[in-house]
């Protein structure tokens, strides 16, 4: 069983404090617990970084060792061609995840560089939506 990688981008370490009217009150520690519970016995690597280079390194690691990726690229979504290029190399299922509905927000949040390389895109379900993302990624991985 190759692990699921749940990768979280910049400022997501501030969940629960950062703009709770948009992102809710759930912390990243609570999100990780939801993901681990949904994965059950399936191995899961849960990570967060404010560094683009660290995120790219983790995507490379997932490309070599992982079975699936759930990525909430946060601000990297809209400008990081380097993350997009790294994700292009990933051979398994890839879910782009956003806590808020990025299409309902300001125009600068409407164009994702990641969506074009993702297997699926999930947005607007709030932090509890990570559970659905993990369950769906498992379904996609088992279908391969």
How is the chain split into domains, by residue range?
4-142
Q: What's the rounded Cα separation, in Å, for the pair 108 and 129? A: 23
71 is annotated as contributing to ligand binding: no
pLDDT of 10 > 80? The answer is yes
Give the pLDDT confidence score for residue 75 in this predicted structure. 79
Q: What's the rounded Cα separation, in Å, for the pair 97 and 34? A: 15
pLDDT interval class at 111 (50, 70, 90): low
In the predicted model, what is the mean pLDDT of residues 4-30? 92
Token pair, residue 142, equals 């088992």
In the predicted model, what is the mean pLDDT of residues 56-81? 92
pLDDT of 45 > 70? The answer is yes
CATH number for the domain formed by residue range(s) 4-142: 3.40.50.9100
Q: What's the rounded Cα separation, in Å, for the pair 48 and 33? A: 14
Q: Quick one: CA dihedral 57, 59, 64, 67, positive or negative?
A: positive
pLDDT of 110 > 60? The answer is no
Residues that are catalytic: 23, 98
34 is annotated as contributing to ligand binding: no
Burial (0-12, 13-18, 19+ Cβ within 10 Å), 70: buried
pLDDT interval class at 105 (50, 70, 90): low
99 is annotated as contributing to ligand binding: yes
Give the pLDDT confidence score for residue 113 in this predicted structure. 80
pLDDT of 6 > 80? The answer is yes
Please, which residues have CB within 8 angstroms of residue 67's CB and are 6 or more apart in sequence? Answer: 1, 2, 3, 4, 92, 141
100 is annotated as contributing to ligand binding: yes
Give the pLDDT confidence score for residue 60 in this predicted structure. 98
Q: What's the rounded Cα separation, in Å, for the pair 18 and 48? A: 15
Q: What's the rounded Cα separation, in Å, for the pair 44 and 101? A: 25
pLDDT of 144 > 80? The answer is no
User: Is the pTM value of this prediction over 0.85?
Assistant: yes
In the predicted model, what is the mean pLDDT of residues 115-132? 94
């Amino acid at each position: 069983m190759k692990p699921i990688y749940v990768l979280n981008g910049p400022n997501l370490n501030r969940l629960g404090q950062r703009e709770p009217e948009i992102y809710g009150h759930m912390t990243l520690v609570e999100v990780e617990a939801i993901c681990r519970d949904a994965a059950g016995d399936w191995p899961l690597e849960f990570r967060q970084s404010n560094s683009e280079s660290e995120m790219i390194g983790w995507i490379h690691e997932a490309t070599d060792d992982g079975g699936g990726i759930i990525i909430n690229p946060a601000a990297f979504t809209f400008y990081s061609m380097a993350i997009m290029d790294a994700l292009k190399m990933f051979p398994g299922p890839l879910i782009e995840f956003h806590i808020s509905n990025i299409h309902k927000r300001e125009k600068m949040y409407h164009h994702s560089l990641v969506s074009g390389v993702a297997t699926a895109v999930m947005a607007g379900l709030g932090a509890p939506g990570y559970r659905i993302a993990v369950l769906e990624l498992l379904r996609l991985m088992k279908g391969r």
